Structure formats: structure tokens, C-alpha cells
Amino acid sequence: MLEPAFIMLCLVVLFALLFDYINGFHDTANAIATSVSTRALSVKGAIVLAATLNFVGAMTFTKVAKTIGTGIVAANQLTQMVVLAGVVGAIIWNVITWYFGLPSSSSHAIVGGIVGAVITHVGPSALIWAGLKKTNPGTRDLPGSRDHNGIFFRSAVQQHF
């Protein structure tokens, strides 16, 4: 029988990959909407441009990933459960905003999901406020919505494991 920690690790990896996939179509839609709607670019041209620039950006610029990975919450307070809850909250927020056509940021969604899950897990003392200031919280999505995603899904996941 598989160990519960291994199962949780597999779930975290699976949902992280799902978030990455959703992040691609979510943020690409936001990035190309204006250029396509104004007919500055064709749909195909805009998608190729967005895919190319997303790839170049991911390979060249890592400040966002570094801030999210080390600058928002104390790393010793992150557990697989916390990461899973934050990622699931971000996925659901991204799908809701995509479905209703609301512009939002996947980066802010993951920050809010992790912050909400950490607050639920250990409280606000684990937050790194200087790192959170860099994310400019509350300016992209509905105020407070991201933190509630993480809190809700951290609680829901915890009840099942």
C-alpha cells in the first residue's frame, strides 16, 4: 500500500501541473484579447506571439517565481497540504474568472491561495509582509477573494486527509 505522504506528493504535483496548464490558457486569453479584438493581430498570430513570449519570459525572468517561492510565506510553514490547498484555490479562482470573462492574474491567484492556506494553517505570523507588498494585493481581483480561496480549500482538503 502506498504511503499517505507519497499520495499527497503525487496530488501536489498533479494539481501543480493542472495549474500550469490553466495558467497558460487563462493568461494567454488575457494577453491576446486586445490585439485580436482590435484586429491588430489574427487569432493565430496572437497565440503564437503569446506562446513565444511566455516561453522566453519563463526561461529568462524568474523574479516572480522567486518571490512566490521564497518571499511570501516562511518556507518552514509550508506543508504539502498547504501547497495543495493554495494551488486548488488558485485553480478554481482561475476557472471561475475565465468562465465569466473576468480579467484576473494567475500569479495573484496562486499568491492568494498560498497566503490563505498558510493563514489557516498557522496564522498570519508566517507571512513575509515585504514580499506580499511586491505582489500589490487587492488590485487585480475582487478584494479579499484570493485569501478566502486558500482558507476554504485548506479547510476542505484537511477534512479529507
Q: How confident is the model at residue 121, as a pLDDT?
A: 92
Domain count, the chain: 1
Q: Give the confidence band of 7 by pLDDT, cuts at 50, 70, 90.
A: very high
Give the pTM: 0.72
Q: Give the confidence band of 82 by pLDDT, cuts at 50, 70, 90.
A: very high
Question: What's the pLDDT tens digit per position in 85-122?
Answer: 999 999 999 999 888 888 788 888 998 899 999 999 99
C-alpha cell at 39: 484586429
Q: Give the confidence band of 142 by pLDDT, cuts at 50, 70, 90.
A: very low
Residue 8 belongs to what domain range? Answer: 4-160
Instruction: Check if the beta carbon of residue 94 is closer than 8 Å to that of residue 125.
Output: no
What sign does the CA torsion over 68, 131, 91, 54 have? negative
> Residue 148 above 60 pLDDT?
no
Q: How confident is the model at residue 136, as a pLDDT?
A: 64
Q: How confident is the model at residue 150, as a pLDDT?
A: 52
Q: How confident is the model at residue 157, as a pLDDT?
A: 53
Question: What's the pLDDT tens digit per position in 19-30?
Answer: 988 888 777 777
Question: What's the pLDDT tens digit per position in 27-81?
Answer: 777 778 888 889 999 989 988 888 888 788 778 877 777 777 778 888 888 899 9
Alpha helices in the chain (DSSP H): 4-37, 43-60, 63-70, 80-99, 106-122, 129-135, 145-160
User: What distances in angstroms separate CA 67 from CA 11, 61, 134, one per listed residue?
Assistant: 23, 12, 8
Instruction: Check if the beta carbon of residue 70 is closer than 8 Å to that of residue 124.
Output: no
Instruction: Check if the beta carbon of residue 46 is closer than 8 Å to that of residue 32.
Output: yes
